[in-house]
């Protein structure tokens, strides 16, 4: 678990390198935390700066390595360039080209794999035989402490917050935020959100263990595999779950663009989509986790 002193220390450490993102009113009530405005278009830079800065400089000079559907890859590449070290990322070969090209533009080397091969690479912990220092995109305590700084920022701007809706992929974002609130304001309820096109964690928690699902969602950033390291942590720190119909996720991307002029990818729009349910939204914050969406997909969603 992350304590309050650690959250504040990490915020001090990464503060010069990340943006303090705005908390804005949502057209459905409640507030939106725009992590899409981070330097690489998602919250991931918080955790990757926290992790990279914690690595001893001589070891860090070997380079950074991660595995990602896209946003963690962008964050790792950005942090590596900022710290002037090499970077290589393993990415699923169906990752949006916007993200693949963005990683390459930042000077990192991309290694594209089919999803099944990438899952085998992860399961075998193949990074242990690689020369670079591996940063796990979500199952890493230091990465999660970086994500916990979102809780600190929310509390500094909205002391009346009662619940926070968080999109969930591997679980590092929601666990970091939940543990941050547990340390700073334990009465705040943190709710995990997934699409019905890939409701991995609600299904796994209901089943008591791993389940086999194939992603069928535009929220590619939430299509992470089951990780046993995250199972008990998610069970302990996430107060409840919302599964959003995929058509509502698609509509949310368009609504954010049309009404708020905010660009969100599928995963980024999940928590906003979850506001459209029968739960109270007063004093609720939805985390808009990322905005890296291909232009062609955005045009398609805007066209309905």
Global pTM? Answer: 0.94
pLDDT, one tens digit per residue, over 270-290 is 999 999 665 667 899 999 999
The DSSP call for residue 256 is I
Question: Which residues lie closer than 8 Å to 207 by C-beta, 6 or more apart?
Answer: none
pLDDT recorded at residue 72: 95
Nearest to 290 by CA among 73, 50, 66, 25: 73
What's residue 156's pLDDT? 97
Look at residue 50 in the predicted model and tell me its pLDDT. 98
The tokens for 80 are: 């590596």
Strands, E, within 148-217: which ranges?
Answer: 163-167, 189-195
Which contacts of 225-228 are long-range, i.e. CB under 8 A and separated by 24 or more positions?
225/119, 225/122, 225/170, 225/200, 226/200, 227/138, 227/139, 227/170, 227/171
Task: Locate 158 and state its tokens.
Answer: 């909205």
Q: What is the pLDDT of residues 12-32, one digit of tens each?
A: 999 999 999 999 999 878 999
Q: Which two tokens stand for residue 10?
A: 């990490």
Set out the domains of the chain in order of their start, with CATH numbers: 4-42+142-303 (3.40.50.1100), 46-139 (3.40.50.1100)
Residue 191 CB-half CA count within 13 A: 23
**pLDDT tens readout for residues 113-137:** 998 898 899 889 999 999 999 999 9
For residue 278, what pLDDT is reported? Answer: 53
Sequence-distant (6+) residues with CB within 8 A of 256 are: 262, 263, 264, 269, 272, 288
The CB density around residue 232, as the number of other CB atoms within 10 Å, is 9
Helix axes 71-83, 97-105, angle to 10 degrees: 10
Say if residue 265's pLDDT is above 70.
Answer: yes
Q: Phi first, then psi: what are they for 265, rounded to 5°? A: -80, 175
For position 96, what pLDDT does the model report? 83
Question: Residues of 233-261 as b/e, b for ≥16 C-beta within 10 angstroms?
Answer: bbeebbeebbbbebebbbbbbbbbbeebe
Q: What is the pLDDT of residues 20-72, one digit of tens each?
A: 999 999 987 899 999 999 999 999 999 999 999 999 999 999 999 999 878 99
Q: Which of 250, 18, 271 is nearest to 169 (CA)?
A: 271
Instruction: Look at residue 141 and tell me whether its pLDDT is greater than 70.
Output: yes
pLDDT digits (tens, 9 = 90+) for 175-194: 999 999 999 999 999 999 99
Contact 238/192 with Cβ under 8 angstroms?
yes
Structure-block tokens of residue 228: 């046993």
pLDDT greater than 90 at residue 98: no
Taking residues 230-248, report their average pLDDT: 96
94, pLDDT greater than 80 = yes
CA distance 236 to 203: 16
Which residues are paired to 65 by β-bridges? 88, 134
Q: For position 22, what pLDDT does the model report? A: 97
If DSSP codes are grouped into helix, strand and coil, which group holds residue 109? strand
* Residue corresponding to tokens 């920022």: 153
Residue located via tokens 């599928």: 266
Contact 72, 222 (CB under 8 A): no
pLDDT digits (tens, 9 = 90+) for 190-226: 999 999 999 999 999 999 999 999 999 999 999 988 9
- 166: helix, coil or strand? strand
Question: Which pLDDT does position 16 carry in this prediction?
Answer: 97
As a whole number of angstroms, the distance between CA 200 and CA 207 comes to: 10
pLDDT of residue 46: 98
The whole-number average pLDDT for the span 88-114 is 92
Is pLDDT at 101 greater than 80 in this prediction?
A: yes
- Model confidence over 142-156: pLDDT tens digits? 999 999 999 999 999
Cα separation, 7 vs 200, whole angstroms: 28
């Amino acid at each position: 678990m992350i304590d309050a002193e650690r959250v504040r220390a990490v915020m001090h450490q990464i503060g010069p390198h990340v943006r303090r993102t705005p908390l804005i009113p949502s057209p459905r009530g409640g507030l939106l935390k725009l992590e899409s405005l981070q330097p690489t278009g998602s919250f991931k830079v918080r955790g990757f700066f926290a992790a990279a800065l914690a690595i001893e400089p001589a070891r860090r000079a070997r380079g950074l390595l991660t595995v990602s559907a896209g946003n963690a890859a962008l964050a790792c590449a950005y942090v590596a360039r900022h710290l002037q070290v090499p970077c290589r990322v393993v990415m699923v070969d169906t990752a949006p080209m916007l993200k693949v090209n963005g990683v390459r533009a930042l000077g990192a080397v991309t290694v594209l794999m089919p999803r099944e091969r990438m899952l085998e690479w992860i399961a075998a912990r193949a990074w242990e035989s690689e020369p670079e220092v591996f940063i796990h995109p979500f199952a890493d305590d230091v990465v999660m402490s970086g994500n916990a700084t979102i809780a600190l920022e929310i509390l500094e701007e909205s002391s009346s917050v009662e619940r926070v809706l968080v999109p969930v992929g591997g679980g590092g974002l929601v666990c970091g935020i939940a543990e941050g609130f547990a340390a700073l304001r334990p009465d705040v309820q943190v709710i995990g959100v997934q699409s019905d096109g890939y409701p991995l964690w609600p299904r796994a928690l209901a089943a008591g263990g791993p389940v086999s699902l194939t992603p069928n969602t535009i929220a590619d950033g939430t299509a992470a595999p089951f990780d046993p390291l995250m199972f008990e942590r998610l069970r302990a720190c996430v107060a409840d779950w919302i599964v959003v119909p995929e058509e509502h996720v698609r509509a949310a991307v368009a609504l954010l663009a049309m009404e708020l002029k905010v660009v969100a990818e599928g995963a980024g729009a999940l928590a906003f989509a979850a506001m459209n349910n029968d739960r109270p939204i007063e004093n609720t914050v939805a985390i808009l986790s990322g905005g890296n969406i291909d232009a062609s997909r955005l045009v398609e969603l805007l066209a309905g």
